[in-house]
Chains A and B, each alone.
Chain A
Amino acid sequence: MSALPFFSERIAAGFPSPAQGYLDEHLDLNRLCIRRPASTFLLRVEGDSMVDAGIFSGDILIVDRSLEAVAGDVVVASLEGEFTVKELQLLPTPMLKPRNAAYAPIPIGDDGVDLFGVVTFCLHALRGRG
């Protein structure tokens, strides 16, 4: 991701203000999306089990392994030898919840579940596919 210049002024229609054009700072998407580079990994989504949470096939997930997962987090877990992205539910019973009515929730047994990390952002391309 490259840095984009950020101008904090409003754009006025009409005559340009003489103060216009002062650069405030460069906005770095890495700094917004990746708080801890050491523990942050990118994964690609495949499938439609999370479409109601706005996560679509082909999207890129930003996953931070350092975060403590809490109820309601979207998490990546390893399940039967694969990574799966689901919403973590803890009450009334712990389960990995798909966000698509066509999929059944996955109960978390007493052995728990092997969490890879917590999803902090989802990058969804609206035009073309990068």
Chain B
Amino acid sequence: MFALVDCNSFYAACERLFRPDLQGRPVVVLSNNDGCIVAGSEEAKALGVKTGMPVHLARDLIARHKIAVFSSNYALYGDISQRVMATLETLVPQVEVYSIDEAFLDLSLMGEAELLPLAQQVRARVARWVGVPVCVGVAPTKVLAKLANHAAKRYPATGGTVVLTDPARREKLLALTPVSRVWGVGRRLMGRLEALGIETALDLARADSCMIRRRFSVVQERLVRELNGEPCLSLDTQPSPRQQVIHSRSFGEPVTTLPPVRQALSDFAFRAMESLRKESLYAGRVTVYLRTAPMGKPQQLFPNTLSAALSPATADTRVVVHQAQALLTRLWKQGYRYGKAGVILTDLRGRGQVQSGLFTSEQPAEPDSGARADALMAVLDTINQSGAGKVWLAGQGMQADQRSVWAMRRAHLSPAYTCRWSDLPVAR
């Protein structure tokens, strides 16, 4: 038995948590760079605001209904998310954090009579302890738990919890659910299923699983089994080892000259390497990419990606920044308007898996490599995490105002209520 816990309008709920004046008022949250609406409160959705809407198309709605607008504040959402997950762990031993606002719980040890009270307790405790509303869907499989959760959100009469153990009730819900709502059914698959006359989740559940496997794959066959209450997906509590670290940003405005892009890439590489070291990993490859601004000249830069191997794999920011700059020099073409750039680290491995180069000795001849580089990076990270001050490479730009050309636009950013002393919410 699984439960899916999903926060209702999570980003909007986070923005409201320390703003009692926004209780009951419509709230929207914008994407990185303030381009599109990525989330909205129930009130905003009721006014016709849709997720994915470019913000300039919603300006009238926002002004007319005095909708509160926020830039994405991922520091805040991350903190609140971690509190939600920690709260769930006080109620059940096995929690799979599925996304920033969703978690699966393993309820296999619970008796059937305990399921609904537990679901209600989860909902009440998260609301009480953390202050964000959640809905809970309980079912024998993950795919069904997703659907149960969707029903709990959609139908207020459920009180925010749906336990889908009764087969008759399950069938009723599946019949009401378009197949596109089933977890794992994307737009393309939906088209192909509809061509077979499969329109509702119930149609899919009743489809011949062998036929589905033949026409599609074992993944879709599992969907059919899961919809029939046969668990194929288990709880995945172990986070899979990281495959890559990406740091990319859209520029506040299109950039046409190389120096700001150089600075931006140095900064992205710097931050990507910080994340890498936080997980004690080494990178074996660095990739740099550039994208032209969407409303710029029609022709696309090609190639827009270049990568290079790092040998030996490294955790040294200086090596990676240097390599990223060399790649940028080769990639750069004058005459375009650039809208976005990024650094991607791949071929990640732990310390034990780093092979030293044939020509690099255990006792490095260069004072700047190997263990000494690790020590230097450790000092760098300690200083930067201490809050006492920041150390960065000159290539990242000297001052905040010089960085503004490529800095992300976040005009409506809320305070870092839970992670900065100067931003604590105020009580009178």
Interface pair B87/A46, CB less than 8 Å apart: no
Alpha-carbon separation in the docked complex, A82 to B90 (Å): 30
Q: How many residues of A contact B (CB 8 A)?
A: 27
Q: Does B128 contact A (CB under 8 A)?
A: yes
The stretch of A8-16, A17-25, A26-34, A59-67 that contacts the partner chain: A59-67
The stretch of B138-146, B242-250, B342-350, B419-427 that contacts the partner chain: B419-427
Interface pair B426/A38, CB less than 8 Å apart: no
**Chain B's nearest CB lies how many Å from the CB of A2?**
10
Interface pair A38/B427, CB less than 8 Å apart: no
Interface pair A39/B83, CB less than 8 Å apart: yes
Q: Does A121 contact B (CB under 8 A)?
A: no
Interface pair B428/A85, CB less than 8 Å apart: yes
> 1/0 per residue B62-101: CB within 8 Å of A?
0000000000000000000001101100100000000000
Of chain B, the residue at the smallest CB distance from A130 is B421
Of chain A, the residue at the smallest CB distance from B131 is A65
Q: Does B217 contact A (CB under 8 A)?
A: no
CB-CB < 8 A to B129: which residues of A? Answer: 36, 38-39, 65-66
Q: Which of A41, A65, A76, A79 has the most CB atoms of chain B within a 10 A radius of its CB?
A: A41
CB-CB < 8 A to A114: which residues of B? Answer: 20, 23
Q: How many residues of B contact A (CB 8 A)?
A: 20
Contact of B23 among A42, A44, A78 (CB under 8 A): A78
CB-CB < 8 A to A65: which residues of B? Answer: 128-131
**Chain B's nearest CB lies how many Å from the CB of A34?**
12
Interface pair B425/A37, CB less than 8 Å apart: no
Interface pair B426/A43, CB less than 8 Å apart: yes
**Chain A's nearest CB lies how many Å from the CB of B129?**
4
Alpha-carbon separation in the docked complex, A65 to B126 (Å): 10
Contact of B427 among A39, A66, A76 (CB under 8 A): A76
Q: Does A128 contact B (CB under 8 A)?
A: no
Q: Which of A38, A60, A84, A130 has the most CB atoms of chain B within a 10 A radius of its CB?
A: A38
CB-CB < 8 A to B421: which residues of A? Answer: 130
Q: Does B60 contact A (CB under 8 A)?
A: no
CB-CB < 8 A to A39: which residues of B? Answer: 83, 87, 128-130
Interface pair B83/A38, CB less than 8 Å apart: yes
CB-CB < 8 A to B425: which residues of A? Answer: 41, 43-44, 83
Interface pair B20/A81, CB less than 8 Å apart: yes
CB-CB < 8 A to A81: which residues of B? Answer: 20-21, 23
CB-CB < 8 A to A84: which residues of B? Answer: 427-428
**Chain A's nearest CB lies how many Å from the CB of B99?**
18
The 7 A-B residue pairs whose C-beta atoms are closest, nearest first, are A81-B21, A78-B20, A39-B129, A38-B86, A83-B427, A85-B427, A44-B424
Which residues in B have some Cβ–Cβ distance to A below 8 Å? 18, 20-21, 23, 83-84, 86-87, 90, 128-131, 418, 421, 424-428
In addition to A47-B428, A65-B131, 14 A-B residue pairs with Cβ atoms within 8 Å of each other are A37-B86, A38-B87, A38-B129, A41-B425, A44-B426, A45-B426, A46-B428, A49-B428, A78-B20, A82-B20, A83-B20, A83-B426, A85-B427, A116-B131
